[in-house]
Amino acid sequence: MKITIKESDMRAREFHQVLSMATGATLGEVDQRTRFLREIGVLQTGPRGHGAPNITPLEAACMLMVMVSRRAADSETVFVRANSLEAISRKAGGRDFLNGAKLGGVLASIISTPDNWTDGLAVDRVEVEENGEFAWLRMSGLDILFTSNTAVRDWVTQNPDAYSRQFDSSARRCFVIGGGLLHQIALELSERDEPAKYAKA
């Protein structure tokens, strides 16, 4: 399937408030975690205040991923791992879904086109292991596994049952991003309303 990413209409500081409300982290912690992204060039730099550039959906996705680690001190290492995760194809309706797509790009696509990006498959949640090694996209009737481990990818590809049998996230500590939260973030990015009261991710 084709991944589409649209433009957004929100500045990074405003999105910090969204992340704080969604995760329970303080604004100071959000700033601490996301500062790294600016330092490595993932986030745009420019004027502050009203002249600051609007964030892109991909930048919003990266800021979500930098919140994955349990400790702020681990956010850089875990982000690098999570940002390298790629989807392992699953067949549905005779088509392959998201084979090789990066987690950040998939999150950005959900955020920018939340109602139609999966051709009718509703997004229930995205689970990212707190160490950044695996992630799962849970949709209605279809789960997608993300990994950067070549051995795991080869084994799961050769043994389709391993998806559900060996890589169940219930035994792992995960940062969960609800589908409702992703939809609300999409609304914030497109409408620039005051940050809504989110359920925790």
What DSSP assignment string belongs to the chain? ----------BHHHHHHHHHHHH---HHHHHHHHHHHHHTTSS-----GGGSPBPPHHHHHHHHHTT-SSSGGGHHHHHHHHHT-EEPPEEETTEEESTT-BHHHHHHHHHHSTTTTTTT--EEEEEEETTSSEEEEEETTEEEEEE--HHHHHHHHH-TTHHHHH--GGGS-EEEEEHHHHHHHHHHHHH-PSPP-PPP-
Domain count of the chain?
1
Q: In this predicted structure, what is the pLDDT of residue 183?
A: 83
Q: In this predicted structure, what is the pLDDT of residue 98?
A: 74
Report the half-sphere exposure of 79 (CA within 13 A, side-chain side): 21
Cβ atoms 131, 79 nearer than 8 A: no
Domain membership flag for residue 6: no
Domain membership flag for residue 78: yes
Q: In this predicted structure, what is the pLDDT of residue 31?
A: 92
Domain membership flag for residue 185: yes
Cβ atoms 12, 34 nearer than 8 A: yes
Q: In this predicted structure, what is the pLDDT of residue 5?
A: 39
Domain membership flag for residue 3: no
Domain membership flag for residue 174: yes
Domain membership flag for residue 197: no
Q: In this predicted structure, what is the pLDDT of residue 114?
A: 58
- Candidates 30, 33, 11; CA nearest to 20 is 30
Distance CA 55, CA 70 (A): 25
Domain membership flag for residue 83: yes
For the chain of 201 residues, list the mean pLDDT of each consecutive stretch of 10: 45 86 92 90 67 78 95 95 89 62 90 63 89 90 86 81 69 89 80 40 38
**Predicted TM-score (pTM) above 0.75:** yes
Residue 155, domain extent: 12-191
Distance CA 138, CA 143 (A): 5
According to DSSP, the residues that pair with 139 across neighbouring strands are 123, 142
Q: Report how far Cα 38 is from the mean position of its chain's Cα atoms.
A: 18
Residue with tokens 């408030």: 17
Distance CA 84, CA 62 (A): 11
Distances (CA, A) of 157 to 69, 96, 145, 146: 28, 12, 11, 12
